[in-house]
Homo-oligomer: A and B are copies of this chain.
Amino acid sequence: MKVVYKVWIDQNGKAFGDGPYDLLKRVEKTKSLHQAALQMGMSYSKAWRLIRTIEERLGFAILERKVGGSSGGGSQLTPGARNLMKDYKQFRNDIKKAIEKIYQRHFDS
Protein backbone atom coordinates (compact mmCIF):
# COMPACT_ATOMS: atom_id res chain seq x y z
CA MET A 1 0.00 0.00 0.00
CA LYS A 2 1.25 3.47 -0.80
CA VAL A 3 0.04 7.01 -1.24
CA VAL A 4 -0.23 8.53 -4.73
CA TYR A 5 -0.91 12.19 -5.49
CA LYS A 6 -0.95 14.84 -8.16
CA VAL A 7 -0.44 18.49 -7.38
CA TRP A 8 -0.44 21.58 -9.55
CA ILE A 9 -0.76 25.36 -9.49
CA ASP A 10 -4.08 26.63 -10.80
CA GLN A 11 -4.91 30.03 -12.20
CA ASN A 12 -8.10 29.83 -14.29
CA GLY A 13 -7.13 26.21 -14.99
CA LYS A 14 -3.90 24.25 -14.72
CA ALA A 15 -1.09 26.80 -14.81
CA PHE A 16 2.02 24.91 -13.69
CA GLY A 17 2.92 21.42 -12.53
CA ASP A 18 5.35 18.53 -12.96
CA GLY A 19 4.95 18.26 -16.75
CA PRO A 20 5.72 21.94 -17.44
CA TYR A 21 8.57 21.81 -14.91
CA ASP A 22 10.09 18.87 -16.77
CA LEU A 23 9.68 20.60 -20.14
CA LEU A 24 11.28 23.85 -18.94
CA LYS A 25 14.15 21.93 -17.31
CA ARG A 26 14.87 20.38 -20.71
CA VAL A 27 14.66 23.76 -22.44
CA GLU A 28 17.18 25.08 -19.92
CA LYS A 29 19.58 22.23 -20.76
CA THR A 30 19.12 22.05 -24.52
CA LYS A 31 18.35 25.76 -25.13
CA SER A 32 15.70 24.52 -27.53
CA LEU A 33 11.96 24.00 -27.20
CA HIS A 34 12.18 21.67 -30.22
CA GLN A 35 14.72 19.45 -28.48
CA ALA A 36 12.88 19.58 -25.15
CA ALA A 37 9.60 18.56 -26.78
CA LEU A 38 11.32 15.79 -28.74
CA GLN A 39 12.87 14.35 -25.57
CA MET A 40 9.42 14.22 -23.98
CA GLY A 41 7.74 12.65 -27.01
CA MET A 42 5.59 15.78 -27.40
CA SER A 43 4.92 17.55 -30.67
CA TYR A 44 6.48 20.99 -31.04
CA SER A 45 3.07 22.57 -31.55
CA LYS A 46 1.75 21.01 -28.35
CA ALA A 47 4.81 22.20 -26.41
CA TRP A 48 4.37 25.67 -27.84
CA ARG A 49 0.68 25.79 -26.91
CA LEU A 50 1.56 24.61 -23.41
CA ILE A 51 4.11 27.40 -23.03
CA ARG A 52 1.58 29.98 -24.23
CA THR A 53 -1.08 28.69 -21.85
CA ILE A 54 1.32 28.86 -18.90
CA GLU A 55 2.35 32.41 -19.84
CA GLU A 56 -1.27 33.52 -20.18
CA ARG A 57 -2.33 31.97 -16.88
CA LEU A 58 0.67 33.10 -14.85
CA GLY A 59 0.78 36.52 -16.50
CA PHE A 60 4.48 36.65 -17.40
CA ALA A 61 6.80 35.43 -20.14
CA ILE A 62 8.64 32.17 -19.50
CA LEU A 63 10.54 31.72 -22.76
CA GLU A 64 12.73 34.11 -24.73
CA ARG A 65 13.55 33.29 -28.32
CA LYS A 66 17.11 33.94 -29.37
CA VAL A 67 17.16 34.62 -33.08
CA GLY A 68 20.20 33.87 -35.25
CA GLY A 69 23.77 33.72 -33.94
CA SER A 70 26.26 30.92 -34.52
CA SER A 71 23.90 28.33 -33.06
CA GLY A 72 21.03 29.42 -35.28
CA GLY A 73 18.83 30.67 -32.44
CA GLY A 74 16.92 28.79 -29.76
CA SER A 75 14.96 29.32 -26.58
CA GLN A 76 15.96 30.22 -23.08
CA LEU A 77 14.13 30.74 -19.81
CA THR A 78 13.28 34.23 -18.62
CA PRO A 79 14.36 35.30 -15.11
CA GLY A 80 10.68 34.94 -14.09
CA ALA A 81 10.69 31.35 -15.30
CA ARG A 82 13.89 30.61 -13.38
CA ASN A 83 12.35 31.94 -10.18
CA LEU A 84 9.21 29.91 -10.78
CA MET A 85 11.26 26.74 -11.33
CA LYS A 86 13.23 27.30 -8.12
CA ASP A 87 10.08 27.94 -6.06
CA TYR A 88 8.23 25.03 -7.64
CA LYS A 89 11.07 22.59 -7.01
CA GLN A 90 11.21 23.47 -3.31
CA PHE A 91 7.40 23.42 -3.10
CA ARG A 92 7.32 19.96 -4.73
CA ASN A 93 10.04 18.56 -2.44
CA ASP A 94 8.26 19.85 0.65
CA ILE A 95 4.95 18.41 -0.56
CA LYS A 96 6.55 15.02 -1.17
CA LYS A 97 8.11 14.90 2.28
CA ALA A 98 4.92 16.08 4.02
CA ILE A 99 2.61 13.63 2.23
CA GLU A 100 4.87 10.64 2.86
CA LYS A 101 5.12 11.57 6.54
CA ILE A 102 1.36 12.03 6.93
CA TYR A 103 0.68 8.78 5.09
CA GLN A 104 3.03 6.88 7.39
CA ARG A 105 1.46 8.48 10.44
CA HIS A 106 -2.02 7.26 9.53
CA PHE A 107 -1.55 4.11 7.46
CA ASP A 108 1.89 2.64 7.69
CA SER A 109 2.48 2.27 11.42
Contact = CB atoms under 8 A, between A and B. Distances in A.
Chain A interface category by residue count: 20 to 34
A66 to B, nearest CB: 29
Contact of A87 (B5, B88, B107): B107
Interface in A72-102: 87-88, 90-91, 94-95, 98-99, 102
Interface of A: 1-11, 14-15, 58, 87-88, 90-91, 94-95, 98-99, 102-103, 105-107
25 contacts: A1-B9, A1-B11, A1-B15, A1-B58, A2-B9, A3-B7, A3-B9, A3-B10, A4-B9, A4-B14, A5-B6, A5-B7, A5-B95, A6-B7, A7-B99, A87-B106, A87-B107, A91-B103, A91-B106, A91-B107, A94-B106, A95-B98, A95-B99, A98-B98, A99-B99
